[in-house]
Structure 1
């Protein structure tokens, strides 16, 4: 959550951020009013409670009518204290509920606009000209059939419903190779490997900002009051909740491998072919706790590690900065990497990285002891490899005329040294 002190010291800063996000500015005005009521309720309660305690000290010393008068006043004060305490709790609850609805403060230099108003910062590599190579590019499902039907969406739908799938044969091997490469890359960059739980309590989901605007996209197990995570960011952030960290040990970096579950609410009719937009996929996620003063630099480091990983996979891609209206609740700035998808003739998202400043840490009560006192840390996240989209990008960009798939050099150690992926029994030409 944002620092509540800003409501009193710089409410216009919060209004600017809300306006940039396309969210309610009136919410800020309401918060300012409720905050005033809350502080007044606290003052009223504390004053009545102090008077009640003072009377309590006088009663043992009093005699006769004086004592009876003090007892009567104590009874009256008890009612006032009870009423003031109830008002305080009500205004506190209303304040906290409203505060949780306010998104992180967007940096002033983030591009304005919504989903289509991103800014392309960099372009790496160039899409292949398949026509000059003498064949037409096939999509990942067509390539799958040539490899022996290794992406099976029909049986996925039969077993689990639409937007589910089975990976078999070389597709399953390719995912395992990607997992190993991603984790080894992260470890080499100083991350601690993690396999976090994919089910979390409501406090973890709310603390990371996924029960606000993104709640419709989250799977909930009502009988157990648990949620299936849509990203390892959630358990990795909550991992150090309610803790005070040693500032000298920052940054703390974790790389989590986990399944990710998304209802894809509101995506009916979008990307229905294949495994581009699915309800479940595996992912390797980077997560960092750092000094807020180092957060901007740490964000750039996460982005560079993502770019290096995509470059290892020999994929053409772009780096985008998202507009303020396309940021999630917790992000103050977000970069996406979009790879080229030949079958779609355009770049599409494969990784992202967000600077959440101290927003999640405040909600999860994660602090560190710094030289100037104990205060919230900053949290950042970055997708190193989302398996399904990376598999599509690899199959489509590295397809050969004979239907085999070129294996990038970096992946070969995890695929038995193979230079090509082929159907069982096939010989790559």
Structure 2
């Protein structure tokens, strides 16, 4: 969907999809998550405090859908699914979806339309910020604005981690004639950090502060070059040092099959369009054979997907309303461990092991080589943050920051449905975007 279509859809329809004025967590639910028909916000109602609150709620729902949702079992799907398919977390068990799984992406073909949800989330969050600034509530306005700025920061991080260099997003300037600006990956990370800083300047609500702080640390680490990695990792680690290990910031979904639900449950559990995978393409992690309790896969229950491909039961999200963790204290510990490793501090393994001990996992022993130690770190990240829209960004960092060859990180070689894996390492915007006169394609598709 081009930015003009996304913008006018956002102006006309507000999809009520989340639970809360100030936080998005799995402890709080809202009946509005369950409805199938979005509320209509007429132009006269939009220009009011009530209209601003509707935009605020809608923006939260669109962010949740961007991370890991769908509406009524239909596309576009969240980036934890589409990104996991391009990475090594999921495989195609539905004819026609192989193009992302085998790294030969066709931008006009499902599920490449996840890009449409990028536009929806960014546009609605931006509009909600404008609306709240113009029509603030009687109390709590800055706290709501802080949450929106944190959502926007994380939206930009997710776009930078998943998509090519040089993507178009609404510039936020004109309501009557919306246009896009093309952002480089570096510009997205810088803009994300600015959004997180705005969030942190507006609120003292602990949940939002922790979310924005982890987001800022994630963007800081993502933006590093090989030359600046050690220093950037140290800066990121300092940001998150005080965040409790048991902290979680979740996006939530509803239990109605007509509402906004968890896309991986819908598409890989309730119906098997995608499935769990082990050591995909030779380079993938051993998600299934490891028997690790962080990976909720049951290898004793194997069944056929839509195309007949047999995969084990994937129970990571066992219900339609299962929440998805966007940021956590565990992620904070992983950032600290990476900083320690990058700066030659042997405590990195203790940091990993302290996190493992929280769920009763035994300690790791440091690998004998530097490369092996990096493998250990990123395997821990992959297992802790399985199917949470982190893995593709991690794989790109292994190539970009750690100097790994693409074909030593991504699935490669013979594809299990025939043929071979292609060379794509990032997602492109959907084919619709080529109707945008202000964008002519990705600047490059390097990791």
TM-score, with normalisation over the residues of structure 2? 0.27
**Could you say which structure has the larger radius of gyration?**
1
Name which structure has the greater RCO, CA cutoff 8 Å, separation 6+: 2
TM-score (norm 1): 0.28
**Which is richer in strand?**
1
